[in-house]
Chains A and B, each alone.
Chain A
Amino acid sequence: MSSNTFKYPTIYNFPPFFTKQPNLQTFQIQLQIWQDLILDYCKFYKIWSLSINGQPNTTTTSITDDDDDGEEDVDNDDIDIDVDISKNSIFKNDKIERYAKSDFILDIINHMIKNGKCEWIDANNHKFGLFIYWYTLEEWADKLYDWIDNTGQNNTVLTLYEIRKSELTENQEFNNINLNLLIKILEILVKLNKALILKDDSGSIVGVKFS
């Protein structure tokens, strides 16, 4: 197996793993293993956001992508609101022909939300999917600010594109980060007085000044 393929834990091939376990204690450990698996999986493939049916989410949310970077997001498959398990879903294992049912998937998601490991992108509209926090927002904020600090970019203005997609951040873990996730992280830094978000007349973000 090559190292650029995610190695699932052996329990992923254990058919009952996909059934909500009736024994409460077993169910708790099952939720925990699902959570760890999803976090490891997303971290491995740098998946910032999952759709509710367990696929990497490439759509952007209700917040418009007003980045002036001319980026080419690989959107925009329509996501079914119903939990429709199709290809490439972490909740489906073709090898053993098992998939998790929607109520169980929701249990897993709620468990992760409770632990601060994911969040609805739009609490009122679950079809936008989830942000998956393999690092917490605070940890991301630290990583971003450390990079600014270590590269002496305090007091310079950066565009969101430069942070996300430019050569500057090629080797950083937040390279290619989801735009809306980045904004959430910047908002944390703003609260800590470590960053200032610069907007144009129409309210679009044009850049960030770190302090």
Chain B
Amino acid sequence: MSRKGLASFENHSSQQTKFQNLGQQLLRSQHEELETQFQVFQNALTAFKEQYSAEIMENPKFRTEFSEICISFGVDPLIVSTDKNKSNTTSETDDKYNHLAMRIFEICQLTKSLNGGIIPIADMTRMINNEAGVDPMMSSLHNSIKEVDVQKAISNLKNIGGEIQMIKIGSSNYIKSIPQELNSDQSIILATCESIGHVSVNLLRDNFGWRKIRCKSNLEELVSNGLVWVDEFGNEKLYWATSWINKEL
């Protein structure tokens, strides 16, 4: 670049400023445009929700997909669940449980590949209390969520995603967010895992008198559903409950 005299410097810097201003203007207008588009989409989504609420309530697959779209666009899918006739008078407590239910739904989604879609209600409660401090929507609930709150919120959730429900395995309560049901063998296996951490084919055979094939096929199904993890270290394969992932040793 040829530079002659001081004037060229001034010229250069004023051009620079102009370019910067132009760039900022462009960015700003892009930002505004996106914001408008986003708003439009949110409104459309809300309108859609109102129009098709009956169908959304009826069809579980549709409902799940719709809830996912809603969540990614910051629309509360639960408003649809509150009875339409009284929707304008949604009380503060309903709000609280709706937010809670949404968090439960999200945590179930986020942790599904880790735990196969079954999570101890105690873990869920702890996770929500831990993060309530950072989520402004939940700040009033920080450290005050009890398991009964989670249970109540889940009964609200039934209205949008019937897949999420409470189940009892052994003596503990769990939240299940997958459609598959556990057979009684699998419940026994998970309950045993829960108390001692892991089971093995031999352990099941010795303690429950099951034949080897029965132990194996149930364990394999639990593995393929992501509900237990395999530990190949000693002589015998051990199968561990995912709820032990969060245990402090």
In this assembly, does B247 line the interface, its C-beta being within 8 Å of a C-beta of chain A? yes
The answer to whether A14 touches B244 (Cβ under 8 A) is yes
> What does the 1/0 interface line of B200-242 toward A look like (CB < 8 Å)?
0000000000000000000000011110011111000010100
Bound-complex Cα distance A25 to B238 (A): 19
Interface centre among A13, A18, A26, A98 (most CB of B within 10 A): A26
Residues on B with C-beta less than 8 A from A191 are none
The answer to whether A16 touches B229 (Cβ under 8 A) is yes
Residues on B with C-beta less than 8 A from A95 are 249
For A10, give its contact among B116, B229, B245 (CB under 8 Å): B245
Bound-complex Cα distance A11 to B248 (A): 9
Q: How far is the CB of A196 from chain B (nearest CB, A)?
A: 17
For A14, give its contact among B113, B226, B233, B245 (CB under 8 Å): B245
Residues on B with C-beta less than 8 A from A21 are 229-230
In this assembly, does A23 line the interface, its C-beta being within 8 Å of a C-beta of chain B? yes
The answer to whether A14 touches B229 (Cβ under 8 A) is yes
Identify the closest chain B residue to A14 (Cβ). Answer: B245
Q: How far is the CB of B29 from chain A (nearest CB, A)?
A: 27
For A15, give its contact among B225, B240, B246, B248 (CB under 8 Å): B240
The answer to whether A13 touches B231 (Cβ under 8 A) is no
In this assembly, does A81 line the interface, its C-beta being within 8 Å of a C-beta of chain B? no
CB interface residues, B 123-150, toward A, < 8 Å: none
Residues on B with C-beta less than 8 A from A198 are none
Q: Is the interface of B mostly helix, strand, loop or mixed?
A: mixed
Residues on B with C-beta less than 8 A from A10 are 245-249
Identify the closest chain B residue to A96 (Cβ). Answer: B249
Identify the closest chain A residue to B249 (Cβ). Answer: A13
In this assembly, does B114 line the interface, its C-beta being within 8 Å of a C-beta of chain A? yes
Count residues of B near A (Cβ-Cβ below 8 Å): 21
Identify the closest chain B residue to A19 (Cβ). Answer: B232
Residues on A with C-beta less than 8 A from B231 are 15-16, 18-19, 98
The answer to whether A26 touches B226 (Cβ under 8 A) is yes
Count residues of A near B (Cβ-Cβ below 8 Å): 20
> What does the 1/0 interface line of B36-54 toward A look like (CB < 8 Å)?
0000000000000000000
Residues on A with C-beta less than 8 A from B248 are 10
Q: Is the interface of A mostly helix, strand, loop or mixed?
A: helix
Bound-complex Cα distance A163 to B137 (A): 46
In this assembly, does A28 line the interface, its C-beta being within 8 Å of a C-beta of chain B? yes
Bound-complex Cα distance A17 to B245 (A): 9
Q: How far is the CB of A31 from chain B (nearest CB, A)?
A: 11
Q: How far is the CB of B121 from chain A (nearest CB, A)?
A: 18
CB interface residues, B 91-128, toward A, < 8 Å: 113-114, 116
The answer to whether B233 touches A19 (Cβ under 8 A) is yes
For B233, give its contact among A11, A15, A28 (CB under 8 Å): A15
Q: How far is the CB of A38 from chain B (nearest CB, A)?
A: 18
The answer to whether B245 touches A28 (Cβ under 8 A) is no
The answer to whether A19 touches B230 (Cβ under 8 A) is yes
Residues on A with C-beta less than 8 A from B244 are 14
Q: How far is the CB of A104 from chain B (nearest CB, A)?
A: 10
The answer to whether A23 touches B245 (Cβ under 8 A) is no
Identify the closest chain B residue to A30 (Cβ). Answer: B229
Identify the closest chain A residue to B198 (Cβ). Answer: A15
Q: How far is the CB of A96 from chain B (nearest CB, A)?
A: 7
> What does the 1/0 interface line of A1-38 toward B look like (CB < 8 Å)?
00000000011011111110111011011000000000
B residues with a Cβ closer than 8 A to A are: 113-114, 116, 198, 223-226, 229-233, 238, 240, 244-249
- Given A16-B230, A16-B231, A19-B231, 12 more A-B residue pairs with CB atoms under 8 Å apart are A11-B246, A15-B233, A15-B238, A23-B223, A23-B224, A25-B113, A25-B226, A26-B113, A26-B114, A26-B116, A96-B249, A98-B231
25 A-B pairs within 8 Å (CB atoms) are namely A10-B247, A10-B248, A11-B245, A11-B246, A13-B249, A14-B240, A14-B244, A15-B198, A15-B238, A16-B229, A16-B231, A16-B238, A17-B245, A18-B231, A19-B229, A19-B230, A19-B231, A19-B233, A22-B230, A23-B224, A23-B226, A26-B114, A26-B229, A97-B233, A98-B231
Closest 6 CB pairs of A and B: A16-B229, A16-B231, A29-B113, A15-B231, A13-B249, A19-B232
